[in-house]
Structure 1
């Protein structure tokens, strides 16, 4: 049976968006420990925590892996590799938006180009990727839902304020921005291509 996990990254304020087992990535492990949340793994170079904080992390982690500061991949990617090896699906990332733009972009690329389902989840935003097929979305607090082509796609939207019928969506096309679900559930059908989905419940972000 597939089991979800949440990788808590350094920009997380708390673990409130977590689902399944917790993995603390670098300073994200300290966030979990301060909330007294048990982690199956704490991984990172931990160059941003002091000795007292590291002791707290070890207290709340089943396993700890300390990585070298000089390395070829981010702490988030190392945590993701470990989660994939354990067979977790989907893998949720929280604390990956805000802060440095390069880190934010790197986390977005993880969502778009990994071979396992990755969800980037924050208080007001959730980003995920859709593969070809039929996908059902239910109305919730996330009022706005947007669709962007990761690669050229043919998309049909049913049950949305702005429906589409076998629309060819190329990269850079913004027709899918700021849509809304108008029925109890809505259906996205992808005949080809891959789509980035962004759900947002902050009306101030509506353009």
Structure 2
């Protein structure tokens, strides 16, 4: 079996070429065990004065001038066109958590592709961080501490059922599908929220101000989804 390009026991900061929240991105840099760029995301990091540990992608959006600025051995070109650069990165990173900036916002088709990748690689725990929202694939059991009234959106990417505590509209007993019952615009009715699901098909979308609360919940979550 081919080994991953990046393997670490800490948090990986993954940067794409899309819109980033500069304050959150800069705040994430000191705690990252490894910094990875998806193709053109390398330009974002280089402009911040940060040399990525790895750059992964087909390199169709990374200018040659920036490629020449990279340290030797950093660039990992994957030429196949059957997957996105985000997919190429996530399947080649082994880490307890990936914080991915630059994959939400700007183009809806890019956002949809990124959300699909989260489901495709459910065993790779990854949080997408955008300007307004954060999104993650819900693990089997996720506890959260949120302010009452906080927006909590649940969107099924396939058939999935679950249970909830602390939500204004509980999801217990609901059969949720993308073309049927969804759970967007729910909200926390109390500070302690818990969501459990029976399949790696449910997206959780929270306001970006809830990033720390989400990370705390993921650390407390007892297990993730197994590798396929």
> Does TM-score exceed 0.5, indicating one fold?
yes
Distance in 2, Cα, partners of 1:140 & 1:103: 30
Asked whether the equivalents of residues 164 and 171 of structure 2 are also in contact (C-alpha less than 8 Å), the reply is yes
Asked whether the equivalents of residues 17 and 123 of structure 1 are also in contact (C-alpha less than 8 Å), the reply is no
Query: Which position in structure 2 is the counterpart of 1:46?
Result: 59
Match of 1:120 among 113, 128, 131: 128
Query: Which position in structure 2 is the counterpart of 1:178?
Result: 185
Asked whether the equivalents of residues 137 and 204 of structure 2 are also in contact (C-alpha less than 8 Å), the reply is yes
Which segments of 5 or more consecutive residues in structure 1 lack a partner in the other structure? 203-207
2:184 is paired with a residue whose SS is: coil
Which structure has the highest strand share of the two? 1
TM-score normalised by the chain length of structure 2: 0.71
After superposition, the C-alpha distances for 1:90-140 in whole angstroms (9 at most, x for unaligned) are: 2232211233433222211111221322222213111111243x3201216
CA RMSD of aligned residues (A): 2.9
Match of 1:111 among 118, 122, 126: 118
After superposition, the C-alpha distances for 1:131-174 in whole angstroms (9 at most, x for unaligned) are: 43x32012169931111223333322211222343333344334
Matched residues, number: 194
Query: Which position in structure 1 is the counterpart of 2:217?
Result: none
Distance in 1, Cα, partners of 2:88 & 2:148: 32
Distance in 1, Cα, partners of 2:150 & 2:208: 5
Which segments of 5 or more consecutive residues in structure 2 lack a partner in the other structure? 1-7, 210-228
TM-score normalised by the chain length of structure 1: 0.77
Alignment of 1:1-207 (within 5 A): 2-13=9-20, 14=22, 15-16=25-26, 18=28, 20=32, 21-56=34-69, 58-59=70-71, 63-68=74-79, 71-83=81-93, 87-116=94-123, 117-132=125-140, 134-139=141-146, 143-190=150-197, 192-193=198-199, 194-200=201-207
